[in-house]
């Protein structure tokens, strides 16, 4: 009676064990994967290793320089060695994670017939126009002509000349080391015309530590696809002044040529407005000595804010806005002058604020008050105003005054106010800045996505990231091979794609799903189901161990 | 007067242009401003400001735009989004037609935006969406909440108010946000659009803390193309900024019907805006003349203006700010209104709603018999929304936009035809087809509907309850399958038995 009962109980126990194991198996093999799959956030794969590789990117900026030797510029045996190519490398020391190297690829060759003819002309202007006719130079490249030591093209005391296009002229020398000496001069000229440390440092000012490039250094406008330029005439006293300005003519005559020269950098749109009863935020002080009013340099930062609320944001586009204000002071406060730190009046009566724009104060000629009654009619002299605004525009874009090597003649820009190599400098700077921005954006995006596992990464975000990475790499390659124009375009694409990925709204969808809420939902189901399974597993485990130990004891 | 002024101002640049060798004449612009003060039948006082900037320029074509009196922010909108007309209003309160009489300009509570796009616009919905977002930035309002669920394309009402070649309704969009609360933050950007800001002229009176202590406050922006000259060979753009407020007489006048500019606005007019070619204050003195009441307007008006407005003969005392100096005090007078229903043909347009896509639109053109009440009732069901669609304060209820009543009311007195350009601004917003009738647009109050509001902890409760049920079922099932059951000899002793015996002894039952 007892034996079959025990056997039956044993059978029951075994069946129970099997059932428990089966439950555990179903829960683990079926339940867990199902749960995992259904609650997973979709995360498209991203090129994390490539992005971290971008941080250690070495930028090699290649400046192709063609050095053309005319007859009698260097000794004959040196001329025999032509043509050949020399590459000079120079590291630009910046406290930035990206290592930036500058390569001057100097291709030496002899002058062609028409070049000889052009350089034997009487004046530099004629020679330049003739040379410009024969060839078109790519962005970023330079041509340096080495002329005879006794040529009359340059004044006697000048050693070199830098033109408004991408050409320069260097005086040759009859010497045993002629090629070295000339090569050194060429580098000096090419440095002045292409990449200088200052240009790159200004471009990277956002990414560099504060100590070196503190706020007193100029900060150029951030790189963008386009810019809006707004000229505003502020007339705080329309009862006394009836101010007219021919802004349409002035924009067409002075601003548009400059902007069309700059058109490679971005799209520009220009508009103007007249604001009445717009006053500066600071009360001018009276100076009894000259019976005029003045704004001290330290009070200038407070001038802009109250005016800015009236300027009106640009509703139609997302491009950064550059404001140029022409302020005609009210009758009670005129004439009004800006004083610099030493108390002397500023010659232009204007100041600019980096990344914002410029303000010029335009005093009404006091003699007009005698002639007629109020309001007096004021015609603004646009030449005077536009000179100042264009100079400020150059500064805002980070086009510095060129630093000339010693004994060098600089012709100055043509009528549009910008030399082509200054534009190249701007393109170099903007490309490097764009690359730095894109790299930073991609790195922070990768960090963010790595840190927060709740963020959904959609396929289009991933493809933007991929194209941004590819564009950065392409831009770096193009820079290294000296194709400035395509490098700039690629760098712009990199910035656009990376920002689009970074600011994609789909990243935020599931961001706020904290862990405690997740557990609050899971626990009511999972805890009662998991506890019996775990307990039976532990029990089965203990029993099996006991039954393994038992046979040993019998032995 | 206005035209002469205009010509004087612009004569010089014209000459300059000729000297310069036939350069294009610069676009001309002019500003007119006007304040109409109407004592209402109830004893309240209504003040309606209108600022009208007219710009003789074709905004759509020019690449580089130069703005003088016209605000740059709005001008850019017109050219970027190819607008033909834009009408935007922000209103707090409700115009009580029964007590206050017909309004010059009524607007529904909250924000109302309706826009006609040029027929060159390809994707109207996209432009509409972008435009409402930009406008919400300019006016600090929640217009960005305008989407397809509250946008309609009316087919009968909301015809273009300005010049229009065709009226293809595809290019019209209309939306109302009844929930929008209007406050000083909306007034400040509105004031910034005025050429004289709030420094001179009538705009001095626009002081926010008084304007919002009113029973009705409505500010609006109307942009539309108008004829540049009598033959209408080219178009000009007109920007009208209007602001209507109704002051409670008892609040402003401490129970008396006296009022003054200073008492209403806590400001007085000190100087005219030097940019305005016309700057006038009209005070409705109609019943003052009729009833010979012993009240007086101070200072005595230099001129009066008589015309038919909203169907009645009205007399206005006119103060030209460009002429006279300062207006300090004037007195309140009574006013009476009567109106009749216009004969019209019937028309019903109904566009049913699609859940979460578009709202219902019911338009009816009906002829109302005289001295009758017409009731339009619509049955609706209360539905549950998706749980993410509830607002943060769902118990407040959901707004149904106010209905609009546009009517052509026959005039009691025939108005004499006047030049449209010359007439005061309060008369020339709505185009007049003939002089025997006038146009009014009335809005009803928005309807606040209480939808069934769920308990928002419900989803979690449901999860917990379901999980508990599942867990209990699962637990017993699991136990049945995995446990082995066998009979166990009852053990002697133990705490339970001792306790049971204790109780049994107390009850007088033999122990176990």
> What is the mean pLDDT for each group of 10 consecutive residues in chain B (512 residues)?
31 31 56 88 85 83 76 88 92 88 85 92 92 92 91 88 80 92 91 87 86 90 88 87 85 61 78 84 71 58 78 80 52 29 57 82 80 78 77 84 84 67 74 72 86 79 86 87 74 77 86 74
SS3 B381: coil
Please report, for chain A, how many H helices and E strands are present, in that order: 17, 17
pLDDT given for residue B7 in this prediction? 30
By percentage, how much of chain A surpasses pLDDT 90? 23
Confidence check: pLDDT of A447 > 50: yes
A248 vs B113: CA distance, rounded Å: 34
Chain A: give the shortest CA distance to residue B70, in Å.
9
Find how far residue A439's CA is from the centre of its chain: 11
**Rounded to 10 degrees, what is the CA torsion of B28, B52, B208, B72?**
-40
A234 in Cβ contact with A327 (< 8 Å):
yes
Contact B471 A525 (CB under 8 A): yes
Q: Indicate if ipTM > 0.90.
A: no
What confidence score (pLDDT) does residue A502 get? Answer: 93
Pairing mode, strands B398-400 and B447-449: antiparallel
The distance of B24 to chain A (nearest Cα, Å) reads 10
Average pLDDT over residues A362-373: 83
Binned at pLDDT 50, 70 and 90, residue A363 comes out as very high
What would the 3-class secondary structure string for A144-200 be? EEEECCCCCCCCCCCCEEECCCCEEEEECCCCCCHHHHHHHHHHHHHHHHCCCHHHH
For residues A132 and A30, the model is more confident at: A30
Q: Which residue from A322, A384, A383, A329 is spatially nearest to A358, judged by alpha carbons?
A: A322
* β-bridge partners, B29: B55
Chain A residue nearest residue B62, CA to CA: A271
Of A230, A274, A277, the CB nearest to B200: A277
- Three-class DSSP category at A536: helix
Q: Which residues of A touch B195 (CB under 8 A)?
A: 276
Which chain A residues touch B456 with a CB distance below 8 Å? Answer: none
Angstrom CA distances, A552 to A373, A545, A549, A555, B154, stand at 124, 11, 5, 5, 93
Strand partners, B60: none
Q: Which of A226, A269, A311, A315 to mutate to test the interface with B (most CBs of B within 10 A)?
A: A315
Closest-CA distance of chain B to residue A249, Å: 9
Name every residue whose Cβ is closer than 8 Å to that of residue A310 and which is 6 or more positions away in sequence.
A275, A278, B192, B197
Mean pLDDT over residues A87-104, rounded? 81
Looking at per-residue pLDDT, the higher value among A314 and A121 belongs to A121
CA distance A320 to A397: 12
Planar angle of CA B89, B92, B95, nearest 5 degrees:
90
Helix (H, G, I), strand (E, B) or coil at A202: helix
pTM, whole model, 2 decimals? 0.78
Residue B298's pLDDT is 67
pLDDT band at A328 (very low <50, low <70, confident <90, very high): very high
Nearest to B67 among A246, A273, A524 (CB): A273
Contacting residues of B for A313, CB less than 8 Å apart: 73, 137-138
Phi, psi for A128 (deg, rounded to 5): -65, -45
DSSP-derived letter for residue A167 is: E
Q: How far apart are CA B154 and CA B175, in angstroms?
A: 10
Give the gap in angstroms from C-alpha A314 to the nearest C-alpha of chain B. Answer: 6
Q: Which residues of A touch B479 (CB under 8 A)?
A: 532
- Say how far apart CA B90 and CA B269 lie, in whole Å: 25
B138 vs A315: CB contact, 8 Å cut-off?
yes
Q: What is the pLDDT of residue B22?
A: 34
What was the pLDDT predicted at B135? 93
Please say if the pLDDT value at position A96 is more than 70. Answer: yes
A247, A309, A529 ranked by CB distance to B66: nearest:
A247
Determine the residue of chain B that is closest to A529 in CA distance. Answer: B471
The per-residue pLDDT for B326 is 45
Strands B110-117 and B235-247: what pairing? unpaired
CB contact (8 A) between residue B482 and residue A375: no
- Tell me the per-residue pLDDT of A309-327, one tens digit each, with 9 for 90 and over: 888 766 667 888 999 999 9
B470 chain-A contacts, CB cut-off 8 A: 525
DSSP-derived secondary structure letter, B492: S
pLDDT of residue A212: 52
């Amino acid at each position: 009676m007892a034996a079959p009962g025990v056997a039956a109980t044993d059978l029951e126990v075994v069946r129970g064990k099997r059932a428990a194991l089966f439950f555990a198996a179903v829960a683990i093999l079926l339940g867990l994967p199902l749960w995992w799959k259904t609650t997973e956030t979709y995360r498209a794969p991203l090129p994390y290793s490539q992005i971290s590789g971008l941080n250690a990117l070495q930028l090699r900026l290649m400046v192709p320089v063609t050095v053309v030797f005319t007859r009698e510029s260097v000794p004959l045996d040196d001329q025999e060695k032509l043509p050949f190519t020399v590459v000079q490398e120079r590291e630009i020391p910046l406290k930035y994670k990206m290592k930036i190297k500058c390569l001057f690829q100097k291709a030496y060759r002899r002058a062609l017939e028409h070049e000889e003819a052009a350089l034997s002309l009487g004046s530099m202007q004629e020679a330049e126009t003739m040379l410009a006719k024969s060839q078109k130079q790519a962005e970023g490249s330079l041509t340096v002509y080495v002329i005879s030591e006794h040529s009359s093209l340059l004044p006697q005391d000048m050693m070199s000349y830098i033109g408004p296009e991408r050409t320069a002229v260097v005086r040759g020398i009859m010497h045993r080391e002629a090629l070295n000496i000339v090569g050194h001069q060429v580098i000096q000229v090419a440095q002045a015309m292409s990449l200088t440390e200052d240009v790159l440092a200004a471009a990277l000012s956002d990414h560099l530590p504060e100590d070196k490039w503190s706020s007193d250094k100029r900060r150029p406008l951030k790189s963008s696809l386009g810019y809006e330029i707004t000229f505003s005439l502020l007339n705080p006293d329309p009862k006394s002044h009836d101010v007219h300005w021919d802004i349409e003519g002035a924009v067409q005559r002075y601003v548009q040529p400059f902007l069309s020269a700059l058109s490679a950098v971005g799209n520009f749109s220009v508009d103007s407005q007249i604001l009445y009863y717009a006053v500066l935020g600071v009360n001018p002080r009276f100076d009894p000595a000259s019976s005029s009013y003045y704004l001290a340099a330290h009070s200038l930062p407070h001038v802009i804010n109250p005016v800015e609320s009236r300027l009106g944001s640009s509703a139609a586009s997302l491009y950064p806005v550059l404001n140029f204000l022409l302020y005609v002071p009210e009758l009670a406060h005129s004439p009004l002058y800006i004083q610099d730190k030493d108390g002397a009046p500023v010659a232009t009566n204007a100041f600019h604020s980096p990344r914002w724009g410029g303000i010029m104060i335009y005093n009404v000629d006091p003699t007009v008050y005698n002639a007629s009654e109020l309001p007096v009619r004021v015609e603004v002299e646009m030449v005077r105003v536009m000179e100042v605004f264009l100079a400020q525009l150059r500064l805002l874009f980070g086009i510095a005054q060129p630093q000339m090597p010693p004994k060098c003649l600089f012709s100055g820009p043509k009528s549009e106010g910008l030399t082509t190599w200054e534009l190249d400098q701007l393109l170099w700077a903007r490309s490097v800045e764009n690359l730095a921005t894109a790299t930073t954006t991609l790195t922070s995006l990768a960090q963010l996505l790595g840190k927060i596992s709740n963020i959904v990464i959609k396929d289009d975000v991933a493809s933007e990231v991929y194209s941004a990475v590819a564009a950065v790499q392409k831009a770096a390659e193009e820079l290294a091979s000296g194709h400035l124009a395509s490098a700039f375009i690629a760098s712009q694409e990199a910035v656009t794609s990376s920002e689009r990925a970074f600011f994609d709204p789909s990243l935020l969808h599931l961001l706020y799903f904290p862990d405690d809420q997740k557990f609050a939902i899971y626990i009511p189901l999972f805890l009662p189901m998991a506890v019996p399974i775990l307990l039976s597993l532990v029990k089965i485990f203990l029993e099996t161990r006991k039954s393994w130990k038992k046979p040993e004891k019998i032995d | 007067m206005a035209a002469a002024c205009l010509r004087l101002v612009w004569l010089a640049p014209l000459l300059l242009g000729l000297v310069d060798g036939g350069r294009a004449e610069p676009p001309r612009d002019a500003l007119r401003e006007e304040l109409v003060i109407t004592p209402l039948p109830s004893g309240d006082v209504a003040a309606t400001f209108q600022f009208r900037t007219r710009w003789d320029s074709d905004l759509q074509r020019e690449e580089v735009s130069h703005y003088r009196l016209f605000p740059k922010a709005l001008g850019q909108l017109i050219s970027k989004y190819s607008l033909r007309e834009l009408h935007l209003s922000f209103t707090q309160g409700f115009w009580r037609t029964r007590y206050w009489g017909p309004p010059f300009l009524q607007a529904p509570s909250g924000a109302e935006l309706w826009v006609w796009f040029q027929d060159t616009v390809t994707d109207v919905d996209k432009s509409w969406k972008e435009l409402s977002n930009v406008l919400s930035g300019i006016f600090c309002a929640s217009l960005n909440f305008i989407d397809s669920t509250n946008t309609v394309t009316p087919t009968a009402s909301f015809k273009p108010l300005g010049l229009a070649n065709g009226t293809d309704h595809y290019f019209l969009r209309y939306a109302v946000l009844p929930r929008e609360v209007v406050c000083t933050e909306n007034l400040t950007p509105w004031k910034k659009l005025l050429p004289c800001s709030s420094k001179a002229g009538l705009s001095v009176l626009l002081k926010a803390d008084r304007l919002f202590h009113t029973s009705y406050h409505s500010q609006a922006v109307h942009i539309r193309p108008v004829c540049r000259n009598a033959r209408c060979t080219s178009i000009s753009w007109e920007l009208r900024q209007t602001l209507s407020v109704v002051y409670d007489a008892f609040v402003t006048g401490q129970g008396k019907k006296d009022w003054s500019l200073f008492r209403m606005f806590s400001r007085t007019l000190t100087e005219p805006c030097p940019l305005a070619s016309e700057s006038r204050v009209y005070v409705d003195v109609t019943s003052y003349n009729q009833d010979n009441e012993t009240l007086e307007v101070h200072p005595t008006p230099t001129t009066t203006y008589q015309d038919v407005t909203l169907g009645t003969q009205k007399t206005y005392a006119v103060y030209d700010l460009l002429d006279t100096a300062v207006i300090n005090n004037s007195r309140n007078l009574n006013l009476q209104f009567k109106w009749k229903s216009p004969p019209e043909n019937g028309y019903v347009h109904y566009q049913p709603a699609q859940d979460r896509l578009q709202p219902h639109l019911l338009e009816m053109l009906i002829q109302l018999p005289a001295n009758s009440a017409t009731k339009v009732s619509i049955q609706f069901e209360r539905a549950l929304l998706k749980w993410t669609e509830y607002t943060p304060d769902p118990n407040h209820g959901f707004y149904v936009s106010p209905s609009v009543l546009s009517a052509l009311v026959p005039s009691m007195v025939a108005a004499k035809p006047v030049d449209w350009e010359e007439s005061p601004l309060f008369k020339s917003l709505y185009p007049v087809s003939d002089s025997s009738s006038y146009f009014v647009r009335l809005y009803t109050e928005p309807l606040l509907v209480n939808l069934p509001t769920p308990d928002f902890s419900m989803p979690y409760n449901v999860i917990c309850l379901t999980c508990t049920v599942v867990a209990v079922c699962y637990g017993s099932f699991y136990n049945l399958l995995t446990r082995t059951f066998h009979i166990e000899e009852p053990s002697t002793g133990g705490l339970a038995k001792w306790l049971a015996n204790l109780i049994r002894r107390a009850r007088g039952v033999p122990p176990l």
